[in-house]
Amino acid sequence: MRITAFSGSPRVNGNTRALVDEVVRGAGSGGAECEVVDIGRLRIAPCRACSSCRRTGECIQRDDMQSLYPKLIESDVLVFGTPVYFWGASAQMKAFVDRWYAIAEGDASEKLRGKKAIVVTAYADDDPNTPEHVVGMFRRALDYLGIELVGVLGVSASDPGDAASNPQAMQEAFSIGQALCN
């Protein structure tokens, strides 16, 4: 089983990344081949809405997103991690998701169907409903692509290190990853 996790936080060692890493560690303990991609460190331009991809079958923009399309297509399970910023995904994650438009039809789209996904969020709030819009965005986008959302983890974590120092959150993240291999 091949799992690719996409961490959409601009903080390389922040709460989102700690949770994503623990999901991956859990999956790895079950024998999955795992990779984590820090999309917050990549150059991913926003979608231009030019619809060139509809005519040519690929995005016209040449940036780091080109290397991510194969990862989306070739993975069995996708993990998406983002901090919640003003009740939405980070700008880095949103640009990444918007660029899925280029693979939402045609051959690539057929290869996405049947995959599984996990959504992981870290948010600086005590309200457990804070990530509902982020999860809703992913739920709708994944459903459109025929990808099954099999797990969601939302963790209240304000300051750097909060998630990693929360044993319950880390155990839940590990267990979600482990469950992917069962």
Q: Which pairs from 39-42 meet CB under 8 Å and 24+ separation?
A: 39/6, 39/7, 39/8, 39/68, 39/92, 39/93, 39/96, 40/7, 40/8, 40/9, 40/10, 40/11, 40/12, 40/90, 40/92, 41/12, 42/68, 42/92
Give the C-alpha separation, 51 to 108, whole Å.
16
Query: Which residue in 30, 163, 63, 180 sits closest to 116, CA to CA?
Result: 180
| Contact status, residue 45 vs residue 61, Cβ threshold 8 Å | yes
Q: Which residues contact 140 (CB under 8 A, 6 or more apart)?
A: none
Do the beta carbons of residue 15 and residue 65 sit within 8 Å?
A: no
- Alpha carbon of residue 54 to chain centroid: 24
Q: Which residues contact 113 (CB under 8 A, 6 or more apart)?
A: 145, 146, 147
Per-residue pLDDT of the chain (182 residues; tens, 9 = 90+): 999 999 999 998 899 999 999 999 999 999 999 999 999 999 999 999 999 999 888 899 999 999 999 999 999 999 999 999 999 999 999 999 999 999 998 888 999 999 999 999 999 999 999 999 999 999 999 999 999 999 999 999 989 999 999 999 999 999 999 999 88
What confidence score (pLDDT) does residue 12 get? Answer: 85
Residue 136 has which token pair? 């809703």
| pLDDT number for residue 182 | 80
Could you tell me which CATH number the domain at 2-180 has?
A: 3.40.50.360
